[in-house]
Amino acid sequence: MNNKSDSIEKMRLTPFQTIIKSLASINKLLLQLFLAIGFILTLRYCSIINFYPSGLTLGDSLFFIAISLAFVFLYSIIVLFLFSAGITISPILSFIQYLILNFYKLIAKKKITKTINFPSILSFEIFPYFIIGIIPIIYTSYKFTTNFEKGLQYTSVILLMSIFWGFINSKPRQSKYSYKKIIFVKIILISVIYLIPVMFIEDTFIDKSMTLIGIKKDSAVIQLSKKYTTFLDINGILPSKITKDNEGIFKNVTVMFQGIGTNIQVKIENFSLTVPSKDIIIGKLD
């Protein structure tokens, strides 16, 4: 009975109403998806800084959506830059493949027919990626001088991007694979490319996303109530100034978490402190 009434209702809807109804359903689904992603990212960030907010409300769901949108936006841009870097170094991998193939042919007296295809980066369609790709390559080289481990992580991501770029352009035998299967495989490869950075440098993206929407704030100036100022003083963290009410002013503070819940997490020098929102004032010098 219900199925019959549903079909009658669908018949009464105009094409325009059907489109509006479908878009509303998609928007609802996307909203729930972004809410879930934002919640997971928040939990992950909280586990990184070892702090979990209390006093959450239903209104805080907007923060989860904002976190999710900020992460997806930032992540997609970084993926584009790293993928472009992978395309930029593809001629190097192509040359290495050429040397390996010739070495194998010399040793085994056999020729390998299945190879990875790396298109020329000088072609009109690919050259813009080459221009973009120079930037992350320079940044990765710089990272080796400041943080070797991070430099190694970025290098691994760029190499994997380049290899999968070659896989995408490699053409399988048409007699063995149908067009739909080839498209399906390419979609899988593109999905893997999109997920590669988060496997290696996940914490960086989450951290930058939190900074982007104001959850995290660097180089902040804070004013703490008397009891927290005294507590920090006992632990060797001295304020730069004391107010008339014996409240401490601290500079160059990293606000690790704010905006959600009733508590705020701050990091002063190497000391982490959780403070109720009512006991802290946060500012920043421009």
What type of residue is 69?
Answer: L
Task: List, in order of start, the domains of the chain with CATH numbers.
Answer: 15-214 (no CATH), 217-284 (2.30.30)
Q: Where is pLDDT greater, at 138 or 186?
A: 138
What's the pLDDT at 230?
Answer: 92
Mean pLDDT, the chain, rounded, equals 83
In the three-class reduction of DSSP (H, G, I as helix; E, B as strand; rest coil), residue 171 is classed as: coil
Q: H-helix or E-strand containing 253?
A: strand 248-257
Given a cut of 70, whether residue 85 has pLDDT beyond it is yes
What's the pLDDT at 229?
Answer: 92
Backbone CA torsion sign across 121, 126, 131, 136: negative
- In 3D, which of 198, 262, 207, 258 has the Cα closest to residue 47? 207
Given a cut of 60, whether residue 10 has pLDDT beyond it is no
Instruction: Give the confidence band of 68 by pLDDT, cuts at 50, 70, 90.
Output: confident
Mean pLDDT of 15-23: 62
What's the pLDDT at 70?
Answer: 84
What's the pLDDT at 133?
Answer: 92
- Alpha helix (H) residue ranges in 121-257: 127-146, 148-169, 179-212, 226-234
Given a cut of 90, whether residue 175 has pLDDT beyond it is no
Nearest 5°: the CA angle 34, 38, 43 is 150
Mean pLDDT of 74-94: 91
Least confident of 114-118, 191-195, 237-241, 247-251: 114-118
Helix 61-88 to helix 90-108 angle (10° resolution) is: 50
- In 3D, which of 229, 234, 233, 284 has the Cα closest to residue 254? 284
**CA–CA separation, 102 and 110 (whole Å):** 9
Mean pLDDT of 3-15: 52
Instruction: Give the confidence band of 211 by pLDDT, cuts at 50, 70, 90.
Output: confident
Instruction: Give the confidence band of 195 by pLDDT, cuts at 50, 70, 90.
Output: confident
What's the pLDDT at 254?
Answer: 92
Given a cut of 90, whether residue 173 has pLDDT beyond it is no
Mean pLDDT of 21-25: 65
What's the pLDDT at 157?
Answer: 92
Given a cut of 60, whether residue 5 has pLDDT beyond it is no
Instruction: Give the confidence band of 214 by pLDDT, cuts at 50, 70, 90.
Output: confident
What's the pLDDT at 14?
Answer: 60
- Residues 6 or more apart in contact with residue 140 via CB below 8 angstroms: 85, 151, 154, 155, 158
Mean pLDDT of 235-259: 90
Backbone angles phi, psi at 246, to 5 degrees: 60, 30
